[in-house]
C-alpha cells in the first residue's frame, strides 16, 4: 500500500543552523515527490518536486531535498534556518503506478528559535 511517513511531529532548530525534515515513502512505480509548506490559516504552498533526474532538487526560499531511491527517502533540507521558516511542512507523493492518487504525510512542525 502507498504511504508517506514523516517521523517527527516537530523539529526545533536554532536560527542560522542547518535544518532537516525527514520523509520516507512507499509507492508503486516511479514516484512523484513533493514538499509543501503551510502557514497558519493558509493553504499549502509548493516548495519543490522530484520527478526524475538529479537526486538533489533545489526549490523555493533556499530549500532543497535529496531523493534517495534505495532508502525511499526524500528529506527536506536548508543550510541556514530563518525564524520565518517556522511553519508546517508536508511531504507528498503521487503514485507512479497509474492510479494518480496523492498521499500527504502527517506534517512536521518546524520551529526555528531566535
Binding flag, residue 40, other proteins (CB under 8 A): no
Angle (CA) 87 93 95, round 5°: 165
Closest listed residue to residue 87, CA positions, set 71, 60, 110: 110
Residues in binding contact with other proteins, number by CB under 8 A: 22
Binding to other proteins in span 93-112, by CB under 8 A? 94, 99-107
Binding residue (CB under 8 A) for other proteins from 1, 9, 43, 114: 43
Helix (H) or strand (E) holding 5: strand 3-5
Nearer to other proteins, 4 or 81 (CB): 4
Q: Are 23 and 50 in contact (CB under 8 A)?
A: no
Q: How far is the CB of 95 from other proteins (least distance, A)?
A: 8
Question: C-alpha grid cell for residue 104?
Answer: 500527504
x/- track of binding to other proteins for residues 49-68 (CB under 8 A): x-x-----------------
Q: Are 105 and 23 in contact (CB under 8 A)?
A: yes
Residues found near other proteins in the complex (CB under 8 A): 32, 34, 36, 41-46, 49, 51, 90, 94, 99-107
Amino acid at each position: 500500500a502507498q504511504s508517506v511517513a514523516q517521523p517527527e511531529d516537530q523539529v526545533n532548530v536554532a536560527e542560522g543552523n542547518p535544518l532537516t525534515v525527514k520523509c520516507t515513502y512507499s509507492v508503486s512505480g516511479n514516484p512523484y515527490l513533493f514538499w509543501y509548506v503551510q502557514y497558519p490559516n493558509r493553504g499549502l504552498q509548493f516548495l519543490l518536486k522530484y520527478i526524475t533526474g538529479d537526486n538533489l532538487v533545489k526549490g523555493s526560499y533556499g530549500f532543497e531535498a535529496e531523493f534517495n531511491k534505495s532508502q525511499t527517502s526524500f528529506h527536506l533540507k536548508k543550510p541556514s534556518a530563518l525564524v520565518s521558516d517556522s511553519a508546517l511542512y508536508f511531504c507528498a507523493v503521487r503514485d507512479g503506478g497509474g492510479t494518480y492518487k496523492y498521499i500527504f504525510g502527517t506534517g512536521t512542525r518546524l520551529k526555528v528559535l531566535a
